[in-house]
Structure 1
Amino acid sequence: MSLIVQKFGGTSVADAMKIHRAARRAIRARLANKQVVMVVSAMGDTTDRLFALAHEVCRNPPKRELDMLVTTGEQVSIALMAMAIHEAGHQAISLTGAQVGLLTDSVHTKARIRTIDAERIRRELASGRVVIVAGYQGIDPSGEITALGRGASDTTAVALAAVLGAEICEIYTDVDGVYTSDPRVVPQARKIDRISYEEMLELASLGAGVMHSRAIEFAWKYQVPVHVRSSLTDAPGTRIVSESKGMEDLVARGATLKRDLARLTLLGVPNAPGQAAKIFARIADQHIIIDDIIQNVVDHGKRANIAFTVERGDAEETQALCRRLTAEVGFDAVDVDADVCKVSIVGVGMRSHYGVASRMFGAMAAGGINIQNISTSEIVISCIVSSKDGERALQLIHQAFELEKPNSSPVPAGQS
């Protein structure tokens, strides 16, 4: 008997009617002689409301207590889903992350999965039950409840699919697949039928909100087929697969906007071996994730200005840490701009096409948008811009690469 994993996001279980709709999907798969594991997020905006409530009670809530609070949302959802399936005359059981043996590290609010003991799930499946697992959460070696980070129910689902050897992991959401850009910002955005793991990982990391980037990492590493589709219809969505012949024919697969970033610039850092290592080691000790890093040498090579971006929510803590490092490392000051964002173009076709950067920068120049930082990889070009210019920049890039067309290839092929 084959096994599938179905993950339902918060908007797909936002009320009783939607919970029953999701339950029917699981039941339909069960009647098709499949074993079914469901992974469920908290209902609607429950997690947002719990975070807001925490900050009403405490200006800087302890991260352990945040995890204790916000993981309750998923426990509500899984219990209601099990009830809905029972109401329809089928067997189901709800289980928390701890109950399914999802072991994480001890980094509260950003925990990473270490191992999953799937024995309990296999036992329940063998008894004919639909197993409903709380997304977003696990337990550390000390028995503490941990949260995997916002949007990480996707990661729970794909990790379970990998461990259980599922034939597919279906990600149900309120959109009908992965788009070339955010349709709310770019109305011309087009649904993508197939996309490679690598491209999807970059899109997710750079702000595409359809899937969590760590979920794509798991899917790519363990070759889990993923199907992102709408919970409202039976129409095909977007399949995330291994790269195949012809995918490089398209220069770009999508454009993204990553909001809510802050740029910190360390002024006058001694230009000597080990200084940057010391600074970023201290930042890493606080489990703060660094995005882009740019270094400019000044003062005839004696000093350097180092600029980097972090999530806006980490800006205050990072700034305070860097100020403490000014005397220790010997740099002059810390400058913070908490109002920036990042626009990016992504595509495996960049490996075999030239002119991509000039087209992107030209589109933004024509729109009067100033680029503050630039970073590149083999299949990505990203620019840091002011938050006020972010949406306009995304629209211009999408138009420049004609992403609304199914077979767009506006720059010539050749050596990149």
Structure 2
Amino acid sequence: MVASDVIVVKFGGSCISSGADLRRAALMVKKVAAEGKRPVVVVSALKGVTNQLIKVADDATRGRVSPQEKDSIVSLGEVVSARVMAAALRSIGVDAVEVDPYSEYWPVFTDDVFGDANPVLELTRKAVDERIRPLLSMGVVPVVCGFLGLTVDGRVTTLGRGGSDTTAVLLGACLGASEVVLVKDVGGVLTGDPRVLKGYSKLDVLDARETFILASSGAKVIHAKALRFKPEEVNIRIVGFNEGDILAGGTLIVGACQPEVEVSAYEKPILAVTVIGERAASPEAFSKLMMAVREAKAELVSVALEPLSMTLYVSDGEANILEALHGKVMEEELGKALTCSSKLAMITLKGAGKVEGKEVSRILSEEGVGFHSILTLSSGVRIFVSWDEKERVLQKIERIVNPVRRFGR
């Protein structure tokens, strides 16, 4: 359900670099509140501060600062911005409170992947309902640190570069805000990069899926991760800091992003058979091994080729298929030896602007789940894990790649 008077306004580090900028931002927020809106403000660190903090930490430790320590240090940039912004708002008569990870009002909870944490949606929604909504009901403007999160045991995390966009869209989704306004150094999404093109123009409206593709392809219009949290009913407006009216103009991003990651598991256990040798990855070897698979009445579900090996992923008939493949390899001299791993589950991820194998590896490592192999497809990724881990891995991957589906109330 959309709350028509709730609006989330995020000021990025690209457009706030001084106390004067923060005061200008505060005056914009006051104007929004005067028009009957209940704003939630999200702020980034001042321009350049995050890089300065990273350099200081790296220089002081000679690069030996841990990811957890670095997140704690880097977070101070947003903490300062939030506290100064809240003070600026109070100085012009707006009741405001800073909301940082050390505050009793903090709402964003994440996993413990330091440097690129993912929100834990259930905990975040509950915290927003219990901590942020009451502030809005009392007429208080919460000024929330963007980019930051907190683990359930109280350790500060960061959401990855551009994470303040994620914070704003996430809060907008949890609050059912009518709009999330991202205030940047440009007045909207342009038809091309103004640094290399002359005939560019601003787009008034853009579909969320189109925006996701742009962002995933390197356009710095919005952090791609943020769009995964956008419900259909919550619009995003990208406006320029120098535009004046942040409730109009700019580029309006509409519709649900729905990265369209289809997560599925093959219904039967899989046997992975790897054949090694110089001929193992040849077309001739593949053809003859396929014949052996068919003769054993097994089903080939995937294959992986390396310069000196071929791995066949097959279902059913373990004993028969092993005997058949071993016999064929030795008889036809297709390889030197074979090895196998049994009772594997095959999980397939399709779409999503190409989910990357390294991202899947990180998810599994975070969960403490070992995996047999990961294959990258033209349309997605296939992961092979222990059959006993199938359901747990499925739930974990679904939560990460399709978080917006979990926003139903």
With normalisation by structure 1, the TM-score equals 0.59
Contact 2:54 2:74 in 1 (8 A): yes
Contact 1:42 1:76 in 2 (8 A): yes
Contact 2:166 2:226 in 1 (8 A): yes
Which whole-Å deviations, capped at 9, do the CAs of 1:200-256 have from their partners, x for residues lacking one?
01111111112111111111x45420000001113610010128xxxxxxxxxxxxx
Which whole-Å deviations, capped at 9, do the CAs of 1:96-129 have from their partners, x for residues lacking one?
1464231101100000011311121112112211
Q: What residue in structure 2 maps to residue 242 of structure 1? A: 255
- Structure 1 vs Structure 2: percent identity of aligned residues? 34
The alignment status of 1:214 with 2:253, answered yes or no, reads no
**Change in CA separation of 1:101 and 1:182 when aligned onto 2, cut-off 3 Å:** same
Q: Secondary structure at the match of 2:14?
A: helix
Q: CA deviation at 1:291?
A: 6.9
Q: For 2:154 and 2:20, locate their aligned partners in 1 and report how far apart those are by CA, in whole Å.
A: 35
Q: What residue in structure 2 maps to residue 404 of structure 1? A: none
Q: For 1:186 and 1:45, locate their aligned partners in 2 and report how far apart those are by CA, in whole Å.
A: 26
Q: 1:104 aligns with which of 61, 86, 110?
A: 110
Q: For 1:135 and 1:121, locate their aligned partners in 2 and report how far apart those are by CA, in whole Å.
A: 15
Q: What residue in structure 1 maps to residue 63 of structure 2? A: 59
Contact 1:169 1:224 in 2 (8 A): yes
Q: What residue in structure 2 maps to residue 4 of structure 1? A: 7
Contact 1:26 1:130 in 2 (8 A): no
Q: What residue in structure 1 maps to residue 383 of structure 2? A: none
For residue 159 of structure 1, what is the amino acid of its counterpart?
A: L
Which whole-Å deviations, capped at 9, do the CAs of 1:162-215 have from their partners, x for residues lacking one?
111111000000000011222123233321111111010111111111211111
Contact 1:162 1:222 in 2 (8 A): no
Q: CA deviation at 1:375?
A: 6.7
Q: What residue in structure 2 maps to residue 89 of structure 1? A: 93
Q: What residue in structure 2 maps to residue 270 of structure 1? A: 309
Superposition CA RMSD, Å: 3.1
Q: For 1:223 and 1:268, locate their aligned partners in 2 and report how far apart those are by CA, in whole Å.
A: 50
For residue 34 of structure 1, what is the amino acid of its counterpart?
A: K
Contact 2:72 2:157 in 1 (8 A): yes
Q: 2:234 aligns with which of 224, 241, 245?
A: 224
**Change in CA separation of 1:376 and 1:180 when aligned onto 2, cut-off 3 Å:** farther
**Change in CA separation of 1:216 and 1:273 when aligned onto 2, cut-off 3 Å:** same
Q: CA deviation at 1:54?
A: 2.1
**Change in CA separation of 1:271 and 1:157 when aligned onto 2, cut-off 3 Å:** same
Contact 2:109 2:149 in 1 (8 A): yes
Contact 2:111 2:119 in 1 (8 A): yes
Q: For 1:109 and 1:216, locate their aligned partners in 2 and report how far apart those are by CA, in whole Å.
A: 19
Q: CA deviation at 1:26?
A: 0.8
Q: For 1:169 and 1:67, locate their aligned partners in 2 and report how far apart those are by CA, in whole Å.
A: 26
Q: What residue in structure 1 maps to residue 320 of structure 2? A: none
Q: 2:74 aligns with which of 70, 81, 86?
A: 70
Gaps of at least 5 residues in structure 2 are: 257-304, 314-337, 342-352, 363-371, 381-409
Q: Secondary structure at the match of 1:124?
A: helix
Q: CA deviation at 1:269?
A: 5.6
Q: For 2:310 and 2:78, locate their aligned partners in 1 and report how far apart those are by CA, in whole Å.
A: 49
Q: CA deviation at 1:133?
A: 0.2
Q: What residue in structure 2 maps to residue 79 of structure 1? A: 83
Q: What residue in structure 2 maps to residue 17 of structure 1? A: 20
**Change in CA separation of 1:69 and 1:36 when aligned onto 2, cut-off 3 Å:** same
Q: For 1:170 and 1:16, locate their aligned partners in 2 and report how far apart those are by CA, in whole Å.
A: 21
Aligned length: 269
Q: Secondary structure at the match of 1:157?
A: helix
**Change in CA separation of 1:269 and 1:88 when aligned onto 2, cut-off 3 Å:** farther
Contact 2:354 2:379 in 1 (8 A): no
Contact 1:228 1:239 in 2 (8 A): yes
Q: For 2:77 and 2:173, locate their aligned partners in 1 and report how far apart those are by CA, in whole Å.
A: 25
Q: CA deviation at 1:273?
A: 3.0
Q: CA deviation at 1:59?
A: 2.1
Q: For 1:309 and 1:187, locate their aligned partners in 2 and report how far apart those are by CA, in whole Å.
A: 37
Q: 2:180 aligns with which of 151, 155, 169?
A: 169
Q: For 1:271 and 1:178, locate their aligned partners in 2 and report how far apart those are by CA, in whole Å.
A: 46
**Change in CA separation of 1:191 and 1:309 when aligned onto 2, cut-off 3 Å:** farther
Q: For 1:292 and 1:185, locate their aligned partners in 2 and report how far apart those are by CA, in whole Å.
A: 29
Q: For 2:378 and 2:311, locate their aligned partners in 1 and report how far apart those are by CA, in whole Å.
A: 23
Q: What residue in structure 2 maps to residue 409 of structure 1? A: none
For residue 77 of structure 2, what is the amino acid of its counterpart?
A: G
Q: 1:30 aligns with which of 33, 40, 47?
A: 33
Q: For 2:355 and 2:175, locate their aligned partners in 1 and report how far apart those are by CA, in whole Å.
A: 36
- What pairs with 1:333-372 in structure 2 (closer than 5 Å)? none
Q: What residue in structure 1 maps to residue 162 of structure 2? A: 151
Contact 1:13 1:77 in 2 (8 A): no
Q: What residue in structure 1 maps to residue 44 of structure 2? A: 41
Q: CA deviation at 1:31?
A: 1.0
**Change in CA separation of 1:209 and 1:56 when aligned onto 2, cut-off 3 Å:** same
Q: Secondary structure at the match of 1:2?
A: strand
Q: For 2:155 and 2:101, locate their aligned partners in 1 and report how far apart those are by CA, in whole Å.
A: 11
**Change in CA separation of 1:180 and 1:64 when aligned onto 2, cut-off 3 Å:** same
Please identify runs of 4+ aligned residues in structure 1 that moved more than 4 A: 290-293, 374-377
With normalisation by structure 2, the TM-score equals 0.60
Q: Which has the higher Rg, Structure 1 or Structure 2?
A: 2
